[in-house]
Structure 1
Amino acid sequence: MERTEILEVELLDRLKKETFNLISIPSHRDCHRINEYIQSRLPFIKFEKQYVGKKDLYNIYSISEDKPVLINTHVDTVPPITMKNPFQPVERNGRIYGRGANDTKGLIAALIVALQDFHRDYPDREIPISVAFTVDEEQNSALGSERLIELMSPIKSVLVLEPTYGRLCTAQMGAVEFSFTVKTPSAHGSEFEKFSNPVKEAFSIISRIENRLNRPVNIIKVRSGWDYYAVPDRANFLCEVKAYEGESVDSLVGKIKRELFSSGLDVEFKLEDAEAFQRFKKGEMLEALKKAYREGTGREAEEGIMPSWTDASNFHRAGFECVVFGFGSLADCHTDRESIALKELELTYKTIYRFLSILTQP
């Protein structure tokens, strides 16, 4: 085996071990242990804590006046949900499975190893970036990135690590999240055909919303019915629709409400969250990332649109240049098949390592 092949195997082993270690630390409630672990792996970076005011959660960060580019990702994950043995990572067919494997512990592993190798290869150079690991991203409050902005006056650009299939996402899809309740008279189950069923009525309303907006409705949660034999008296749905570029969120909400309240049924509506499509500011960081991608992977980078909310939204609104990036499948995240390929870890590592090298050049 040639020297380059040996180095490649060693790199994959290190990336695998780092990802295994990170997955093994649950961080869907308390992020203290994973923050401590990250600090122990990067002793050459002086981290500080920033409490966000929720359940003793805190960010760890290292932000410097002379390092205007920030790499950020979140350390919290969704709960196990239906995943079995979520914190006992396994490798199958070149993929590492476990909660957070792709969102975003594999990407954290790639960042840690890239920073370690840059520090080893260039001991006389400063790490050329600011770095922050934030909490609370998987909650609607997203307090980690919201609070971090208070400390980001030296920062001009932010690279947010999230699974994007390897695309450099310079925009983020908008969304309207809403809940509604349909109420109807209850009845004995044997007389169901004589009464309206609120679940069926709700689905009918959703179909009309889809026709009016010309797009599908994502049904996130449904609550209805009892354990006894009766037609339920209400159905509650939590839903979401995407907001495309140039669309008014207020206009979308208005169209949704018109379909709900024109049904003639007893309906309650609540707007849970809404955010317009965002086109991020582009600058020097994007060009450096494209070069790093080309040199690290051997192919040209593609720009894309992040279909999900990320912390980049808060950074964008605060005026920073943003790019969301990371290899891996977003569709598999939050599911019992969440995983990341060793090749995806390697490509993320190589892009980040080259990015660090480029930032040190004149």
Structure 2
Amino acid sequence: MSVPLNVIDLAADLIRHPSVSPDPGGSQIALGETLSAMGFTVTHLPFGEGDERTPNLFARLGAGGPHLCFAGHTDVVPPGSDDWTHGPYAGDVAGGRLYGRGACDMKGGIAAFVAAVSAFLARRPEPRGSISLLITGDEEGPAHFGTQKVLEWMRRNHEIPDFCVVGEPTNPAVMGEVIKIGRRGSINVHLTVHGRQGHVAYPHRADNPVHRLLRILSALTAEPLDEGSEWFEPSSLQVTGIDVGNPATNVIPARATAALNIRFNNLHTGGALRGWIETICQRYAPGTVVEAHISGESFLTKPGPEVAALADAVRTATGREPRLDTGGGTSDARFIALYCPVAEFGLVGTSMHQIDEHVAVDDLECLTRVYEDLLERMVA
């Protein structure tokens, strides 16, 4: 029987490969070598050109079903300030914690799954199902050449799994609190209202776009979008910016702009919300330019046997009853949900993106047990 890999060593090794988004590839090369040694068929899938070139990796062990996939990202946000107690890429362990950029978001999660697979295979060298990893280097960035492109490749090559677990840090404070079974959608909108510049003392000679923009924003925020749904909290529209670019006190500006974001539940689609905004703009300021970017639609994986298996694994490893939740920001699960059922469970996220990002050694070991139990329940 082979000796299982150590999760702390795996995570520290990944941290020591600097990989600010888009990951230049070193961490994925190291990960691919580890997986190849474990018997996985590893395919490196770079997409994009120039500065946008993004490394991605798909690795699979086995050919039968059920097929369980783990999804994660090796790219990280920049270190930021130099005020790190431990170097951002040192991978130091101190006081029962592993420090480094990506420790909790989410190289630690990747290491936990790989360590779990190695422990699982030590007991069951020939599982009945398949295990795969979908690893991108472009989750913290625009996500144009990452998970979406890999999923398209997976579909063309008949590699779509039966269930996918995303290893994002889902727990607010302690392990075992939250499993994400969905996420709200997100749409960013930029409005430009054009008018006619003029002197404030002669308003009849001008057309003030600010007044019409304010009427638009008042109409958009007058009533709640909804009261929530079975699994989702109410949708939220937030104005994030207003600008007229006018330093003068005696000039009516020629144009006024605003930015807003809507985090929406499964009662809406991004396209329908854009249409609603355009209708309001047409009513109060015909000719308003509406630019919208939908970064993701809402999605929900309704509780079923796979989610139940994950919840059982969390319960067994942590002794806590995990809450099924759909809050928070977006993740790459929004892309995966278009192809197969997906849920998210990972580490405690309190230090992600912060100076001295870290994860408790005990939490890494706990997450490894969760993933190992899930493998036992699904593909043994």
Task: Report TM bin, short chain.
Answer: 0.7 to 0.9
CA separation of 1:28/1:237 partners in 2, compared to 1, >3 Å: closer, same or farther?
A: farther
CA separation of 1:184/1:78 partners in 2, compared to 1, >3 Å: closer, same or farther?
A: farther
The residue that corresponds to 2:166 in the other structure is: 160
Q: Indicate if the aligned counterparts of 1:180 and 1:269 stay in contact, CA closer than 8 A.
A: yes
Pairwise CA distance, 1:250: 3.9
Pairwise CA distance, 1:266: 6.8
Which of 170, 182, 188 in structure 2 is aligned with 1:177?
Answer: 188
Pairwise CA distance, 1:182: 4.0
CA deviation map 1:38-70 (0-9, x unaligned): 224433133111232344423211234225111
Q: Is 2:93 the counterpart of 1:72? A: no
Write the letter of the residue equivalent to 2:123: Y
The residue that corresponds to 1:46 in the other structure is: 41
The residue that corresponds to 1:273 in the other structure is: 294
Write the letter of the residue equivalent to 1:272: H
Distance 1:229 1:80 in 2: 40
Which of 349, 356, 359 in structure 1 is aligned with 2:375?
Answer: 356
The residue that corresponds to 2:231 in the other structure is: none
Write the letter of the residue equivalent to 1:151: M
Pairwise CA distance, 1:270: 0.8
Which of 263, 270, 273 in structure 2 is aligned with 1:252?
Answer: 273
Query: In percent, how many aligned pairs have the same letter?
Result: 21
Higher-helix-fraction structure: 1
Distance 1:140 1:79 in 2: 15
Aligned residues: 343
The residue that corresponds to 1:211 in the other structure is: 222
Distance 2:343 2:275 in 1: 31
Q: Is 2:28 the counterpart of 1:35? A: yes
Distance 2:287 2:260 in 1: 18
Q: Is 2:29 the counterpart of 1:15? A: no
The residue that corresponds to 1:6 in the other structure is: none
Pairwise CA distance, 1:237: 4.0
Pairwise CA distance, 1:101: 3.6
The residue that corresponds to 1:111 in the other structure is: 113
The residue that corresponds to 1:137 in the other structure is: 139
Pairwise CA distance, 1:360: 4.8
Distance 2:223 2:240 in 1: 20
CA deviation map 1:215-273 (0-9, x unaligned): 643455677648x7687755544431122222344442233234444444873211211
Q: Indicate if the aligned counterparts of 1:35 and 1:60 stay in contact, CA closer than 8 A.
A: yes
Pairwise CA distance, 1:71: 0.9
The residue that corresponds to 2:229 in the other structure is: none
Pairwise CA distance, 1:35: 0.6
Distance 1:213 1:50 in 2: 43
CA separation of 1:209/1:15 partners in 2, compared to 1, >3 Å: closer, same or farther?
A: farther
Distance 2:239 2:299 in 1: 23
Distance 2:107 2:197 in 1: 48
Distance 2:178 2:355 in 1: 24
Which of 277, 296, 302 in structure 1 is aligned with 2:317?
Answer: 296
Q: Is 2:58 the counterpart of 1:61? A: yes
Distance 1:204 1:345 in 2: 51
**Normalized against structure 1, the TM-score is what?**
0.75
CA separation of 1:151/1:274 partners in 2, compared to 1, >3 Å: closer, same or farther?
A: closer
The residue that corresponds to 2:174 in the other structure is: none
Residue correspondence of structure 1 range 306-345 to structure 2 within 5 A: 306-318=327-339, 320-329=340-349, 333-334=352-353, 339-345=358-364
Write the letter of the residue equivalent to 1:37: A
| Structure 2 alignment gaps of length 5 or more | 172-176, 226-234
